[in-house]
């Protein structure tokens, strides 16, 4: 019936054209026994659009949808521009530039670069190989073939630098296939949106999410957003994001949506759990009736007793054949999650891999740059930044904050007597005692050598003195075994406070240091405030 309606609509359209041209309508002809298939799809006929117009619109939309991701790729590697080349129509030997990282329409392929550079792009796309054009032994153009998610060749993604990339050649060789795979997924997703009308709402959401994911670089915000997106595109009631370490065969809960069950909001993920097994196997699992999962043991870990839910899905996030995490989607009612919507969740997990992995790598790099390698405490750089933040927040919200400076007593004697390995072990033990004894909002840092510091937001002098004394006693009671000897050490501490609006912000560290000096010269192993 839809085809008949399409033919009728097309006939009405042509009739209107003739009347507008002043022509008399032809006499009606008897319908043919087998009407020819219309050149336009029913949807196109009813919308009054032709194939050329649709193709032009789709090309514009594809370029706009891909531009944010291509811009992000350019920023990541220091490229002047990133272009996506695609086979022109059915001609496997011709390539067009269909999207790029710049503004406006993409440049014409015929005028891009030099003849040898265009030939290198065509060769890389045809041979399905990564290619580099070098100048002064530094890559200036990097090319990687692109395929659609279905597997057919699509073209190539090309990164061009003005002088050189900020990424090394090895880094480019590692990242280019990831970017190409992501572009292939996005292009395939765009095509699916146009071909499958029922999926248009979900697919448009996924395209928006893919763009948003690439723009979100803070891990916490990205993780929470991913859970919300999973709920949106699957129709589930809650979602949980898992981070998985394939080498250690263990994972943890990274984030969750608002209505996630309490048993799924934090903790580790064990390999024998339902979610852990899905990460190890690398295959998505879906249950329209998930009530029996409680009988299989834990959903996330062996001792959680399972989570009672009506529908459940575990969607691994794969880097090649290795899972880096998974999205768990659930609903309390039976049949809420369906296979079609779960496929959207799988597409979401694939789209999120690059952004999430890059965000985790960036966060880990930042953490290492702000962490003392020996003790695991924050370093001086991070401490100085947090000191400024805490004092500014104290002025803004009122109250009092405290600073405690700590110094190990006779630490040089420990090194001289037992060796520097023993001294390192002592520092690590003291750092553990201090870190375990403070709140999560407190900052515990190693300033250098044997000097440590505690930054205590919203803490008055009496509370800071009480904490410092408790920690001093804990350090004194601890022993550090080394080569059959139990080493004991003590610490001296100086405490100072800053009250909102006072003039002591610039002297806080000096006052705490003076009190530390007084503790050292007053006999050591004591707290002075």
- Same structural domain, 224 and 363: yes
Query: Of 251, 306, 313, which is closest to residue 276 (Cα–Cα)?
Result: 251
Percent of the chain with pLDDT over 90: 32
Contact residues for 336 (Cβ-Cβ < 8 A; gap 6+): 235, 236, 237, 310, 311
Answer yes or no: is pLDDT of 18 > 50: no
- Give tens-digit pLDDT for 405-440: 999 999 999 888 889 898 999 999 999 999 989 988
- Same structural domain, 516 and 410: yes
- Packing angle, helices 461-477 and 420-436, rounded to 10: 140
Distance CA 239, CA 265 (A): 10
Contact of 365 with 200, CB cutoff 8 Å: no
- Same structural domain, 459 and 514: yes
pLDDT band at 344 (very low <50, low <70, confident <90, very high): confident
Flag whether 471 is in a domain: yes
Higher-confidence position of 496 and 164:
496
With H, G, I as helix, E, B as strand and everything else as coil, classify residue 258. coil
Distance CA 180, CA 139 (A): 18
- Give tens-digit pLDDT for 181-211: 888 888 887 777 665 544 555 566 666 666 7
Contact of 66 with 186, CB cutoff 8 Å: yes
pLDDT band at 80 (very low <50, low <70, confident <90, very high): very high
Cα 179 to its chain centre, rounded Å, is 14
- Same structural domain, 153 and 231: no
pLDDT of residue 305: 62
Distance CA 240, CA 279 (A): 14
- Same structural domain, 30 and 76: no
Q: Residue range 123-144: average pLDDT?
A: 86
- Same structural domain, 494 and 464: yes
Distance CA 373, CA 291 (A): 47
What CATH number did the domain enclosing 167 receive?
A: 3.30.450.40
- Same structural domain, 40 and 66: no
Flag whether 354 is in a domain: yes
Q: Which of 32-46, 64-78, 120-134, 230-244 has the lowest mean pLDDT?
A: 32-46
Contact of 226 with 327, CB cutoff 8 Å: yes
pLDDT of residue 497: 94
- Give tens-digit pLDDT for 287-315: 887 777 766 667 888 766 656 668 888 99
Distance CA 451, CA 519 (A): 14
pLDDT of residue 401: 93
pLDDT of residue 241: 92
Flag whether 335 is in a domain: yes
Query: Is 450 annotated in the active site?
Result: yes
Q: Which of 137-141, 296-300, 322-326, 524-528 has the lowest mean pLDDT?
A: 296-300
How many domains is the chain built from? Answer: 4
- Same structural domain, 403 and 517: yes
Catalytic residue among 65, 223, 341, 450, which? 450
Distances (CA, A) of 98 to 53, 129, 140: 16, 20, 21
Predicted TM-score (pTM) of this structure? 0.45
- Same structural domain, 396 and 358: no
State which residues form the domain around 111.
53-194
Strand partners of residue 493: 406, 527
Averaged confidence pLDDT in the chain = 80
Distances (CA, A) of 276 to 231, 244, 294, 326, 332: 21, 8, 15, 9, 21
**How many H helices and E strands in the chain?**
14, 18
């Amino acid at each position: 019936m839809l085809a008949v309606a399409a033919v009728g609509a097309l006939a009405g359209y042509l009739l209107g054209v003739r009347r507008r041209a002043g022509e008399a309508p032809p006499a009606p002809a008897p319908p043919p026994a087998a009407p020819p298939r219309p050149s336009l799809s029913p949807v196109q006929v009813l919308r009054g659009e032709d194939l050329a117009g649709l193709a032009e619109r789709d090309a514009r939309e594809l370029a706009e949808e891909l531009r944010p991701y291509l811009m992000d790729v350019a920023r990541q590697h220091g490229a002047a521009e990133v272009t996506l080349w695609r086979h022109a129509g059915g001609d496997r030997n011709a390539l067009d530039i269909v999207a790029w990282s710049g503004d406006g329409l993409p440049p014409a392929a015929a005028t891009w670069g030099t003849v040898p550079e265009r030939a290198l792009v065509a060769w890389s796309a045809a041979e399905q190989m990564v290619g580099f054009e070098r100048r002064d032994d530094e890559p200036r153009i990097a090319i990687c073939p692109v395929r659609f998610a279905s597997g057919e060749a699509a073209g190539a993604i090309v990164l061009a630098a003005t002088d050189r990339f900020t990424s090394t050649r090895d880094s480019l060789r590692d990242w280019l296939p990831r970017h190409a795979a992501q572009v292939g997924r996005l292009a395939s997703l765009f095509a699916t949106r146009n071909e499958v009308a029922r999926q248009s709402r979900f697919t448009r959401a996924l395209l928006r999410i893919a763009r948003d994911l690439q723009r979100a670089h803070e891990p916490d915000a990205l993780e929470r957003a991913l859970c919300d997106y999973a709920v949106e595109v699957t129709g589930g009631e809650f979602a949980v994001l898992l981070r998985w370490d394939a080498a250690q065969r263990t994972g943890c809960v990274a984030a969750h949506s608002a209505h996630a069950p309490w048993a799924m909001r934090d903790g580790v993920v064990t390999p024998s759990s339902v979610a852990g097994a899905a990460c190890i196997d690398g295959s998505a699992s879906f249950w329209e009736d998930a009530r029996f999962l409680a009988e299989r043991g834990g959903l996330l870990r062996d001792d959680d007793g399972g989570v009672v839910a009506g529908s459940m899905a575990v969607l691994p996030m794969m880097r090649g054949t290795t899972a880096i995490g998974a999205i768990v989607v659930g609903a309390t009612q039976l049949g809420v999650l369906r296979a079609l919507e779960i496929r959207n969740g799988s597409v979401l997990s694939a789209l999120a891999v690059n952004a999430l992995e890059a965000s985790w790598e960036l966060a880990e790099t930042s953490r290492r740059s702000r962490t003392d390698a020996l003790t695991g405490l924050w370093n001086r750089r991070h401490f100085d930044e947090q000191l400024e933040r805490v004092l500014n927040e104290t002025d803004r919200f009122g109250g009092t904050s405290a600073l405690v400076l700590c110094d190990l007593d006779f630490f040089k004697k420990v090194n001289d007597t037992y060796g520097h390995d023993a001294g390192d072990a002592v520092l690590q033990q003291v750092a553990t005692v201090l870190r375990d004894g403070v709140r999560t909002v407190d900052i515990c840092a190693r300033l250098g050598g044997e000097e440590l510091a505690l930054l205590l937001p919203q803490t008055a002098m009496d509370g800071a003195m009480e904490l410092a004394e408790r920690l001093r006693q804990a350090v004194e009671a601890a022993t550090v075994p080394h080569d059959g000897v139990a080493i004991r050490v003590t610490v001296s501490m100086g405490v100072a406070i800053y009250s909102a609006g006072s003039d002591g912000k610039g002297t806080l560290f000096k006052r705490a240091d003076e009190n530390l000096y007084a503790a050292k010269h007053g006999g050591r192993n004591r707290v002075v405030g």
